[in-house]
Amino acid sequence: MTPQDTSKLRTALVTGAASGIGRAIATALVEAGFRVALLDRDTEALATVAENLPAPNFTLAVDITAAETIDTLGTRLPGEFASLDVLVNAAGHDPGGTTRFDLGNADDWASAIETNLIGTMRLTRSLLPGMVARDRGDIVIIGSIAGIRLVPNMTAYNTSKAGLHAFSDHLRADLADTGIRVIEIMPGLTQTDLIRKRYGGDEARAAAYYARFGLALQPEDIARAVMFALEAPAHATIAQLVILPTNRA
């Protein structure tokens, strides 16, 4: 078998790559022929994902709320990963979710906003200048239907996703005179580790939460949507894509 010419591979970076939607997107990108940099704060899970993906890939255990680290991320990527074609912002966090705002913990809602919104903005800002200099690239932002619809008792999470929705629109406008596309994917209920982590690892409580709704999307559904958007011709941007379980209006 002829060795693969890795010099011609397109390059992607995926946050939240150790589980759920991020892991599914990273896997889909590798299967599509990308070299992928995998970022997550869960060191052990990240290593497991990397072991199950064919090379070349690169892992970096980092919390996207770590400002100094994220601001200098471009200098920490190996040379072959430095010229990004695709940035996928998939990291998500929702501690203390499904709690009325006045009964919740201020540190929990601050943590959700710092990860989901501020971390995404900071990471994008760190890597965007290179894309602008090359005048090409795709920025994928995994938002949520919660960013454009009212969902009670999830105020901090919904606010963070509404912020991502606004960020996506404004960033797209800022970059309108470049070759960079900004793609916002807005899933409905998706079965990931987010709910289990929201409930402190309580598997039974997470299962009961999903059972209330009858149907849930799978991470692979979101990955397919991302690949669909990325495969559009360069002159076309799938600006916003909403994906819902079939039993939800």
Q: With contact defined as beta carbons under 8 Å apart, do 31 and 6 qualify?
A: no
- Strand locations in 2-78, DSSP E? 10-15, 34-40, 57-61
Check: CB of residue 184 under 8 Å from CB of residue 164: yes
Given this model, what pLDDT does residue 41 score? 94
Is 248 among the domain residues? no
- Distance between CA atoms of residues 25 and 43, nearest Å: 18
Domain tally, the chain: 1
Asked if the structure places residue 200 within a domain, the reply is yes
Model confidence, pTM: 0.93
Owning domain of residue 177: 6-243
Give the sheet arrangement for strand 86-89, strand by strand: 57-61, 34-40, 10-15, 86-89, 137-142, 180-187, 240-243
What pLDDT is recorded for position 30? 96
The closest of 223, 124, 113, 102 to 182, measured between CA atoms, is 124
What is the Cβ-side half-sphere exposure of residue 134, based on CA atoms within 13 angstroms?
A: 14
Query: DSSP character for 190?
Result: B
Cβ atoms of 172 and 137 within 8 Å: the answer is: no
Tell me, rounded to whole angstroms, the distance of Cα 123 from its chain centroid.
11
**106 belongs to a structural domain:** yes
In this structure, is residue 1 part of a structural domain? Answer: no
pLDDT tens for the chain, 249 residues long, are 234 445 568 999 999 999 999 999 999 999 999 999 999 999 999 999 999 998 789 999 999 999 999 999 988 899 989 899 999 999 998 887 788 999 999 999 999 999 999 999 999 999 999 999 999 999 999 999 999 998 888 899 999 999 999 999 999 999 999 999 999 999 999 998 887 777 777 888 888 888 888 999 999 999 999 999 999 999 999 999 999 999 998
Q: Which CATH number covers residue 139?
A: 3.40.50.720
Position 31 in a domain: yes
| Residue 179, amino acid | G
**Is residue 181 included in any domain, yes or no?**
yes
Spatial distance between the Cα atoms of 28 and 46, rounded to a whole number of angstroms: 16
Residues designated as active site: 157
pLDDT of residue 200: 76
Indicate the helix (H) or strand (E) that contains 22: helix 20-31
CB 96 within 8 A of CB 120: no
